[in-house]
Amino acid sequence: MARPDAFEIVLSRAFTRIVGRGTPPQLAAALRHAVFPGGARVRPRLLLAVAQAAGARDLSAARHGGVAVELVHCASLVHDDMPCFDNAPIRRGRAAVHAKFGEATAVLVGDGLIVGAFDVLARACIDDPRLLPALPVLAQASGAAGGLVAGQAWEAEPSPDVARYHRAKTGGLFEAATVIGAIAAGVEPEPWRAVGAAFGEAYQIADDLLDLVGTPTELGKPVGQDIVHARPSAAIELGLERAWARLDDVLQRMRGAIPPCADADALHRWLDEACARLFPARRLQPCTGDALTRDDATATALSM
Amino acid sequence: MARPDAFEIVLSRAFTRIVGRGTPPQLAAALRHAVFPGGARVRPRLLLAVAQAAGARDLSAARHGGVAVELVHCASLVHDDMPCFDNAPIRRGRAAVHAKFGEATAVLVGDGLIVGAFDVLARACIDDPRLLPALPVLAQASGAAGGLVAGQAWEAEPSPDVARYHRAKTGGLFEAATVIGAIAAGVEPEPWRAVGAAFGEAYQIADDLLDLVGTPTELGKPVGQDIVHARPSAAIELGLERAWARLDDVLQRMRGAIPPCADADALHRWLDEACARLFPARRLQPCTGDALTRDDATATALSM
């Protein structure tokens, strides 16, 4: 196992305060199950890459911003897997929180992680008040008016607004990651929003594609769920060929959206690596087997 | 219907931003159902009474703090009523959110209100950074390490810690109300914690008593639930007579805990009125009927 890096250390420490001596033991175990071991931590890593590219000298504020974003993401996965939503028994290749700890605990784990996210970010703001604008950015990306909560709710609406649904369900937290990264670096944040929006759009298209052509082992969760739950899917709407082309377009738009900054080259290198890892090679046949090949493994992070 | 006062106006405006144009319509209706019409708004009113007693000249910060506390409270009621917790069909005399809008929406309403609470408080902090310490106070009162989330979780633990359970489930948010009221007034907040703790303890004892001797109409929810759900109850543990005596003791302790402040008399007058309204006259017989008498109506707020 690799040694934990600086981000994982900050996440661990923050988690230890969120889950303190006053936490009931079953709840504490369930909270830990929801956060560790994590997936690829894509959102905080994007946030940190933006903060570095934008010239942040000290990454402490960015790391705490990243922890907050990751905790909100983990909360959304826990609630989304519940029987009243996707009823998914498996997440990250292990039992989902509700399957292992029960529905009541799953509700509370999500609640506790949302509260914990704002707690971490608020404490970071007390240390460095320049981070304060990150709080409403995180709230916007998480909440009922166009954030993650809205995204999950669109799935249950009789007439979902598909563009709003995708932006809320996936794009919002990636946008928040780039905006908060810029805030942590002390630069004008809004120009960075388009980078996160495009990254999120690409991520959503890749997720839709892998739901059709991926395997459960790759994804750490069941495939074919978009059809089962009648969820809007770019891969189903456009067909595989055009969806792959759309993914390429969006990734190109993302690169073009990077504003002038202290170290754009480093960000492009980070994106090269992240894209190679997250966005799988073009595959035009649904994959029905479940063998874990070496190449397939690189896509595992997508579900995480 | 009485004209809305300044607090309800601030709450309404904050709600309009939390539930914006990006909110799916069903979710928006469910969020409104969870917050309006409200109960007695006891926690924000206590917060405002403390802020005034502590010498706050401008109550704007305190009102926003009160909105945040009330939204967290509403979120906890929505999740607590769900089938995997209390399975309570009725709240405030109307259908509970899960009963009217379904479980998935109930989960999301709670999530959206928690996010909204921190959003409101964060924006108030941007306007007035002296309010910043209120954010971790609210997080502590709401979260997994001894806050509301812990309180709900203790109900499902095999060996609940009863003192921690009550403090987390009820006391924490009242403590936060008095502490945030003091922060909003710009005075040392910690001495105010004991006032909120005692208020919360009294509230919990009264709630336990009314669950035994109250009527569903008084409470706006089913009675006898502590026995049904095997929840710790002061009224069951001590017996009615001693529980009433404990309530008197705690209310006296609350009065004694009020620190020296700008206008203690006004706070005592507010408490006189609140106690008369919230803590019912001694009643030693379980009430099995469900007629709403004039005197009974004063206790309705307790469940809200």
ipTM: 0.91
Supply the pLDDT for residue A303. 41
Average pLDDT over residues B119-146: 97
| Chain A residues near residue B129 by CB distance under 8 angstroms | 129, 132
Supply the pLDDT for residue A3. 64
The sign of the CA dihedral B107, B109, B115, B121 is negative
Question: Closest residue of B to A78, CA-based?
Answer: B107
| Chain A residues near residue B156 by CB distance under 8 angstroms | 24, 26, 102, 104-105
Contact flag A107-B118 (C-beta cutoff 8 Å) = no
Supply the pLDDT for residue B301. 35
Task: Return d(Cα B126, Cα B64) in angstroms, integer.
Answer: 12
The structure tokens 């979902």 sit at A160
Q: Percent of chain B scored above 90 by pLDDT?
A: 71
Supply the pLDDT for residue A213. 87
Instruction: Report the gap between the CA of B23 and the closest CA in chain A (Å).
Output: 4
Q: Is the pLDDT reported for residue B1 higher than 50?
A: no
| Chain B residues near residue A33 by CB distance under 8 angstroms | none
Task: Return d(Cα B100, Cα B244) in angstroms, integer.
Answer: 36
* Amino acid identity at B7: F
* Residue pLDDT, tens place only, B76-108: 999 999 999 999 999 988 999 999 999 999 999
Supply the pLDDT for residue A159. 78
Average pLDDT over residues B220-241: 83
Supply the pLDDT for residue B287. 58
Average pLDDT over residues B274-297: 63
Task: Return d(Cα B228, Cα A216) in angstroms, integer.
Answer: 42
Helices (H), chain B: 6-18, 25-35, 42-53, 60-80, 97-101, 103-127, 134-142, 148-154, 162-166, 172-185, 193-213, 216-219, 225-228, 234-238, 240-257, 264-278, 294-297
pLDDT under 70: residue ranges of chain A: 1-3, 286-304
CB atoms within 10 A of CB B257: 17
For testing contact with chain B, the best of A18, A73, A107 (most B CBs within 10 A): A107
| Chain A residues near residue B24 by CB distance under 8 angstroms | 150, 153-154, 156-157, 160-161
Average pLDDT over residues B233-240: 86
SS3 A75: helix
Average pLDDT over residues B146-160: 89
Task: Return d(Cα B143, Cα B77) in angstroms, integer.
Answer: 15
| Chain B residues near residue A137 by CB distance under 8 angstroms | none
Across B58-62, B175-179, B226-230, least confident range: B226-230
What is the DSSP-derived secondary structure letter of residue A168?
Answer: I
Q: Is the pLDDT reported for residue B299 higher than 50?
A: no
Q: State the Cα angle at A78 between A76 and A79, rounded to 5°.
A: 65
Supply the pLDDT for residue B3. 64
Q: Minimal CA–CA distance to A35: which of A124, A117, A102, A103?
A: A117
Q: Is the pLDDT reported for residue B300 higher than 50?
A: no
Q: Which own/partner contact pairs does B232-237 have at CB distance under 8 Å and 24+ positions apart?
A: B232/B160, B232/B162, B232/B165, B232/B166, B233/B208, B234/B204, B234/B205, B234/B208, B234/B209, B235/B205, B235/B208, B235/B209, B235/B211, B236/B208, B236/B212
Burial (CB < 10 A; 0-12, 13-18, 19+), residue B91, is buried
In this structure, are residues A76 and A135 in contact, taking their beta carbons and an 8 Å threshold? Answer: no
Contact flag B119-A105 (C-beta cutoff 8 Å) = no
Supply the pLDDT for residue A286. 64
Instruction: Report the gap between the CA of B261 and the closest CA in chain A (Å).
Output: 27
* Between B49 and B1, the higher pLDDT residue: B49
Contact flag B153-A24 (C-beta cutoff 8 Å) = yes
For testing contact with chain B, the best of A115, A157, A169 (most B CBs within 10 A): A115
For testing contact with chain B, the best of A18, A80, A118 (most B CBs within 10 A): A118
Supply the pLDDT for residue A301. 35
CB atoms within 10 A of CB A59: 20
* Residue pLDDT, tens place only, B246-268: 999 999 999 999 999 999 999 99
In this structure, are residues B254 and B203 in contact, taking their beta carbons and an 8 Å threshold? Answer: no
Q: Name the residue among B126, B136, B143 with its Cβ closest to that of A133.
A: B126
Supply the pLDDT for residue A274. 94
What is the torsion angle, in degrees rounded to the nearest 10, for the CA atoms of residue B294, residue B296, residue B298 and residue B300? -130
Q: Name the residue among B102, B115, B142 with its Cβ closest to that of A142.
A: B115
In this structure, are residues B57 and A75 in contact, taking their beta carbons and an 8 Å threshold? Answer: no
Supply the pLDDT for residue A288. 55
Q: Name the residue among B27, B79, B161 with its Cβ closest to that of A107.
A: B79
Q: Is the pLDDT reported for residue B75 higher than 90?
A: yes
Instruction: Report the gap between the CA of B82 and the closest CA in chain A (Å).
Output: 9
Supply the pLDDT for residue B218. 76
Contact flag B150-A104 (C-beta cutoff 8 Å) = no
Q: What is the largest CA-CA distance in chain B?
A: 53
Question: Closest residue of A to B82, CA-based?
Answer: A104
Radius of gyration of chain A (CA): 18
Instruction: Report the gap between the CA of A76 and the closest CA in chain B (Å).
Output: 9
SS3 A287: coil
Supply the pLDDT for residue A298. 32
Contact flag B136-A152 (C-beta cutoff 8 Å) = no
Contact flag B135-A118 (C-beta cutoff 8 Å) = yes
Task: Return d(Cα B117, Cα B17) in angstroms, integer.
Answer: 11
Per-residue pLDDT band at B236 (split at 50, 70, 90) = confident
| Chain A residues near residue B160 by CB distance under 8 angstroms | 24
Domains and CATH numbers, chain A: 6-303 (1.10.600.10)
Per-residue pLDDT band at B215 (split at 50, 70, 90) = confident
Supply the pLDDT for residue B45. 97
Q: Name the residue among A108, A125, A153 with its Cβ closest to that of B108.
A: A153
| Chain B residues near residue A156 by CB distance under 8 angstroms | 24, 26, 102, 104-105
Task: Return d(Cα A50, Cα A263) in angstroms, integer.
Answer: 9
What is the DSSP-derived secondary structure letter of residue B232?
Answer: -
Instruction: Report the gap between the CA of A134 and the closest CA in chain B (Å).
Output: 9
